[in-house]
A = this chain, B = another copy of it.
C-alpha cells in the first residue's frame, strides 16, 4: 500500500474525514480490474466541492466497492468563471476541445450549433466523461459541466448580464490587450466558431451585441481546436489562475 496514490477518481459523493464512498460498476471495473488495486490500496478522490481526499479501499468487488476517506490532500480549486462555447466539429477534434477545456480550466463547456455547424447532435454524456477523465489526469479538483447543445442564436438571446463574450475574428485588437483592459469584475466566455467560420448573419449579429468583443489570434488562420486552446491559454495567463 502506497501513501503516494497516483490514481485519481472523480466521484459524485460527499467527501470528508471518515466518509465512506461507494463505487459505481465502471469505477470498480477500472480500479480493481484495469488498475489491479486491492483492499488497503490508496486512491485520490475529488467531487468538485470538497477538494481532493486520499481514500483507502475497504471493499473491492466485481460490480462495486467502497472507499473510506483518510485525509484531505488538496483544497478545492475552482477555475475562473469562464465558459467555452464552441461549434462541434469532427469527433476527434470535438473530444480534444473538451479535454483541453477541462485541462486548461474552463468552468463550463457549451456546445453551440451555428449556421455552418454540421453536427445536429452531440453525445453529451460521452463529452462529459471526457471532461471527467481530463480532470482526473490533470490534477484538477473540479470538472467543468458540459451543457446540452443549443442554437447559437438562442444562447445569445438568453445571454446573462455581466458576462463578456470574446470571439476570434479578423479583428485588429489582440486578445491579450482586450483581456488586460477589461474591468476585473467581468465574467467571461470564449466563442470558437466552426471550421467554416461564422455565417455573415452570425458575424453581424455578434458585432452588434454590446457584450461581445472580437479579438485577434494572430496572422495565421487557426483551426477551431487550436483557437480554443490558444484563447483559453491567453485568458488563464491574463485574467485566470496562471499567474
> Interface on A for B, CB 8 Å cutoff?
77, 100, 103-105, 137-140, 174-177, 216-223, 226, 229-230, 233-234, 236-238, 240-243
Oligomer copy total: 2
A223 touching B174 by the CB < 8 A rule? Answer: no
B230 touching A218 by the CB < 8 A rule? Answer: no
Known: A103-B220, A139-B219; 11 extra A-B contacts, CB below 8 A, are A77-B219, A105-B218, A138-B221, A139-B220, A140-B220, A175-B237, A176-B243, A218-B237, A226-B229, A230-B233, A233-B233
**In the assembled complex, how far is the CB of residue A196 from the closest CB belonging to chain B, in whole angstroms?**
12
Query: Across the interface, which residues of B come within 8 angstroms of A241, CB to CB?
Result: 218-219
**In the assembled complex, how far is the CB of residue A166 from the closest CB belonging to chain B, in whole angstroms?**
13
Query: Across the interface, which residues of B come within 8 angstroms of A174, CB to CB?
Result: 237, 242-243
B221 touching A242 by the CB < 8 A rule? Answer: no
A139 touching B105 by the CB < 8 A rule? Answer: no
**In the assembled complex, how far is the CB of residue A139 from the closest CB belonging to chain B, in whole angstroms?**
5
A218 touching B242 by the CB < 8 A rule? Answer: yes
A226 touching B104 by the CB < 8 A rule? Answer: yes
A217 touching B242 by the CB < 8 A rule? Answer: yes
Query: Across the interface, which residues of B come within 8 angstroms of A238, CB to CB?
Result: 176
Compute how far the CA of A66 lies from the CA of B54 in the bound complex, rounded to whole angstroms. Answer: 67
Query: Across the interface, which residues of B come within 8 angstroms of A176, CB to CB?
Result: 237-238, 242-243
Compute how far the CA of A230 lies from the CA of B193 in the bound complex, rounded to whole angstroms. Answer: 19
Given the contacts A176-B238, A177-B243, A100 and B218 also touching, CB distance less than 8 Å: no
**In the assembled complex, how far is the CB of residue A40 from the closest CB belonging to chain B, in whole angstroms?**
26
A218 touching B236 by the CB < 8 A rule? Answer: yes
**In the assembled complex, how far is the CB of residue A213 from the closest CB belonging to chain B, in whole angstroms?**
16
The contact sample of 13 A-B pairs, CB cut-off 8 A, is A104-B222, A105-B218, A105-B220, A138-B221, A138-B222, A139-B221, A174-B243, A176-B243, A177-B243, A218-B240, A230-B233, A233-B234, A234-B234
